[in-house]
Amino acid sequence: MSLTAMMKRKLFREEEYLEAILILEERRGKARIKELSEMLGVKPPSVVEYLEKLVKKGLVDYVKGRGEIKLTEEGRKIAEQVYRKHVLLRRFLELIGVPKEIAEEDACKIEHVVSQITLDRIIALIEFLETCPLTRELREGKTPRCRQKVSTSKQ
């Protein structure tokens, strides 16, 4: 694995943890090892090990044994940016007719690699699609009227 690929993988993992902590804080008021472990699909000792790395980077407050995990101001900023991307990407994918489960899964992957320029264009497209009457046809799996063949026979 190249150094660049390793760095991207580390960033992806870091963002996943921060986003998961944010979601747990929003839903339950606090994040704990057990819930974080379940949400990320990793064992509790792995969560504790990675949290210690996030503490060293100043992204979370966590003291082993207390169990409660809190985002620092910097950690929250990153988590909110990632989550915002996730929501926008999921919304876009659903607007173009991707089923909810697949849109959720794909948004989770894309959010870590999408550039701000691309995201800005997606936002502009979302705004257009939400006002365009043909979008409903796309979401319903129909061929939009503008793409249907028009009969050219003369009567």
DSSP string, 30-81: SEEHHHHHHHHT--HHHHHHHHHHHHHTTSEEE-TTT-EEEE-HHHHHHHHH
Q: Is the pLDDT of residue 20 over 70?
A: yes
Q: Is the pLDDT of residue 8 over 70?
A: no
In 3D space, the residue among 80, 77, 23, 57 whose CA is nearest the CA of residue 32 turns out to be 23
Predicted local distance difference test score (pLDDT) of residue 91: 93
User: Confidence band (pLDDT; 50, 70, 90) for 3?
Assistant: low
Of 59-63, 81-85, 120-124, 147-151, the least confident: 147-151
Mean pLDDT of the chain: 85
Instruction: Work out the end-to-end distance of the chain between its first and last CA atoms, rounded to an integer number of angstroms.
Output: 66
Predicted local distance difference test score (pLDDT) of residue 89: 95
**DSSP code for 148:** S
How far is residue 59's CA from residue 131's CA, in Å, rounded to a whole number? 39
pTM for this prediction: 0.76
Q: With beta carbons less than 8 A apart as the criterion, state whether 20 and 81 touch.
A: no
Q: Is the pLDDT of residue 86 over 80?
A: yes
How far is residue 122's CA from residue 141's CA, in Å, rounded to a whole number? 20
CB atoms within 10 A of CB 148: 10
Higher pLDDT, 4 or 18: 18
Distances (CA, A) of 17 to 27, 51, 73, 81: 15, 8, 15, 13
For 113-134, write each residue's pLDDT tens digit.
899 999 999 999 888 877 777 7
Higher pLDDT, 110 or 137: 110
Hey, what domains does the chain have and what are their CATH numbers? 12-72 (1.10.10.10), 77-138 (1.10.60.10)
The total number of residues written for the chain in this structure: 155
